[in-house]
Structure 1
Amino acid sequence: MSNKMPNIPSLDLGSVPLIELWRGDILESLHRGHAVVARDSGEIVESWGNADAVIYPRSSCKMVQALPLLETGAGRDLRPEQLALACASHQGAHSHVTRVASWLNDMGLSESDLRCGCQDPQDIAERDHLIKTGGTPCQLHNNCSGKHAGFLMLNRHLKGEAEYTLPDHPVQTTILNTFEEVTGTSSPGYGIDGCSAPNFATKLSALAYAMAQFASATDSGSSRSRAMFALREAMIQHPDLVAGETRACTDLMRAMGGRAAIKTGAEAVFVAILPEQRLGIALKIIDGGVRAAEAAITALLIRHGALDADHPVVQRFLGPLTSRRGLHAGHTCTAPGFA
């Protein structure tokens, strides 16, 4: 596959206002984007903006990238904690780093076998520990190190060469085949993600369709359905490993008490898997504003009955804004016509 894209329509084509931020009586910020809610039949339940906008899903599709790990049998003995890490964009906390290191050790591998690159930990306690002890960040701190541990396990099964992030490597071509099957459409190309792996572009509606399949998956269905079920349930059981303390993915999944799995992606992509409703959600804020993506997914989770509108966590993403002294300053809300 080439990374030279065909003529892709501009991302802002057909975008609509999704999230507003008001300070006092003035609209201070307005975030436009696209959002899709779909069933596993491919039916679009509702959408805003351009349902077929072509995007990079970035880390929101890690559960799709992890599917070959289970479908090939390479990860048949993995524990739910490891499956959650394979789908994670973690904080680089001690709990994340040690688990990934242990996983690599179990395979007879080490941090040097990873190809995701070093990253400063986002977890404050781990960052402070490194400073106090004179330690340095390593690839284990990379938010994608769990995904890459999964890549290494798949690579061992496929007997591939060491540079498993190359687009034409068996690991990545296997993932591409799975990605196109699950999204139901051919990817028009790829971009290189922050972790150096190819990230395959797709339509937003196709990404929502993929999430709906995860939502309807069961532990007694086809091999793909069982793999999807295992990954979905691992995320739901271990929200702390999927992201980390203070992160939207972790806090919202905890608030929903097992009713949904959600996953963010860089540049303001967000997806949700709603098993009770058998729905998949995908959204993209076109300015890349993470704050707006978190507000938009919160609104859609409430709209579709996965999140209680009165739960305290909601006000972190939608609701009043206060100054650092606690004074009322404004509010964040959905734009008219959205959710």
Structure 2
Amino acid sequence: MKAVPMVEFWRGGLLESLHHGHAVICDADGAIVEAWGDPDAVIFPRSSCKMIQALPLIESGAADAFGVGASRLALACASHQGAAVHSDLVTRWLADLGLGDDDLRCGPQMPRDADAMKHVLCGGESPCRIHNNCSGKHSGFLTLARHLGAGPEYHEADHPVQIAVRHAFEEVTGVASPGYGIDGCSAPNFATTVHGLARAMAFYAGAGDGSDTRSKAAARLVSAMTAFPELVAGEGRACTNLMRAMGGKVAVKTGAEAVFVAILPERRMGIALKILDGAERASEAAIVALLIRLGALDPGHPVVRRYLSGPIRNHAGQAVGERRLAAGFAA
């Protein structure tokens, strides 16, 4: 099966861009409720799977041994924008481990947060690894490595940390990963199917009903994400805005190259989608449409207008175009 049209962008009465993709909604048993495109399409989940990468941090006992509370668990799942609230928390976490910026294996990154960027540029400083959007995930990796007594190169695929991540990833997706690519933060990113990723999100959605170690760990991560949406992304970002709009009842997470997932505990469902051309604006529109379809997001909420139904405006504020869902998708 091929990717299907999902999101259109119109300007001056003409279709300017058309974004194709795959999307799957799963129930807590892993069965497909609805699908568009090819559920078996193999993708890199990129940062959308950070809550899976954080599972061994809790399952191993490392989180409890090192006092990793809910805010730090949220940061372990984050693609943050390097605001002070993010970098300060990472700095304190590392300090508690007796570590610092140089121990992170993600590269330095200019913060996306405007105030933090201004501080770096106007202060004549260089961006640090703590500013990297994945520094929370890497702090979690370092915590696990310390707990396991493993070496400092925790980002390498044959390191005990990444071996544990791969085992957890394959078990919750229900798919043997065909391989991995190296993510923007230097860590392995294991490939899976869109169905596998949706199945994993549905497991997280139903984890609150479980009493086993893994279910409890997954439920803690979902609770942390929804309790601290500002840590998962940041002010003005889609993940933060959408979780706030849904009152903490749903966890969502984006990934690079237009992957988006959602965890719906009240419905015991999970969503995974991938826009083929990597356009983030299209993945944001598509996830909003699916959340509305499942009754998780009020179609009248202002966040819907921002990412889906509102006009496209130019720098002068003029309405110059519009987004539309393609016929047959999430209607």
TM range (shorter): over 0.9
Distance 1:219 1:141 in 2: 36
Query: Which residue of structure 2 aligns with residue 61 of structure 1?
Result: 49
Q: For 1:133, which of 105, 123, 130 is the aligned residue? A: 123
Q: Which residue in the other structure is 2:194 paired with?
A: 204
1:215 partnered with 2:215: no
> Following superposition of structure 1 onto structure 2, how do residues 45-194 of structure 1 map, counting pairs within 5 Å?
45-76=33-64, 77-194=67-184
Residue 318 in structure 1 maps to residue 308 in structure 2: yes
Amino acid in the other structure paired with 2:233? A
After TM superposition, give the deviation of residue 327 of structure 1 in Å: 3.0
Q: TM-score, structure 2 length as denominator? A: 0.97
**Contact residue 54 and residue 137 of structure 2 kept, 8 A:** yes
Return the offset for 1:220: 5.8
Equivalent residue letter for 2:320: A
Structure 2 residue 208 is the aligned partner of structure 1 residue 239: no
Q: CA deviation at 1:219?
A: 7.0
Whether the 8 Å CA contact 2:284–2:307 is kept in 1: the answer is yes
Correspondence for 1:5:
none
Question: 1:59, 1:89 within 8 Å by CA — same for their partners in 2?
Answer: yes
Q: What is the letter of the counterpart of residue 9 of structure 2?
A: L
Instruction: Report if the CA contact (8 A) 1:86-1:148 is conserved.
Output: yes
Which residues of structure 1 form unaligned runs of 5+? 1-12
Q: Sequence identity of aligned pairs in percent?
A: 60
The amino acid that maps onto 1:209 is R
Say if 2:30 and 2:203, in contact at 8 Å, map to a contact too. no
Establish whether residue 39 from structure 1 lines up as the match of residue 30 from structure 2: no
CA distance in 1, matches of 2:160, 2:134: 19
Matched with 1:10 is none
TM-score between both structures, scaled by the size of structure 1: 0.95
The Cα shift of 1:302 comes to 0.7
> How far did 1:321 drift?
1.9
Q: Secondary structure at the match of 1:92?
A: coil
* Aligned-pair Cα RMSD in Å: 1.0
Q: Residues 147-203 of structure 1: CA distance to partner in whole angstroms, max 9, x if unpaired? A: 000000000111111111111111101110111111111000000000000000001
Distance, in Å, in 1 between the alignment partners of 2:107 and 2:315 is 36
Tell me what 1:7 maps to.
none
Structure 2 counterpart of 1:181, one-letter code: E
Residues 191-218 of structure 1: CA distance to partner in whole angstroms, max 9, x if unpaired? 0000000000001100000000100111
- Shift, 1:32, TM fit: 0.3
| 1:336 corresponds to which of 312, 327, 330 | 327
Structure 2 distance, partners of 1:236, 1:143, is 18
Residue 13 of structure 2 corresponds to residue 22 of structure 1? no
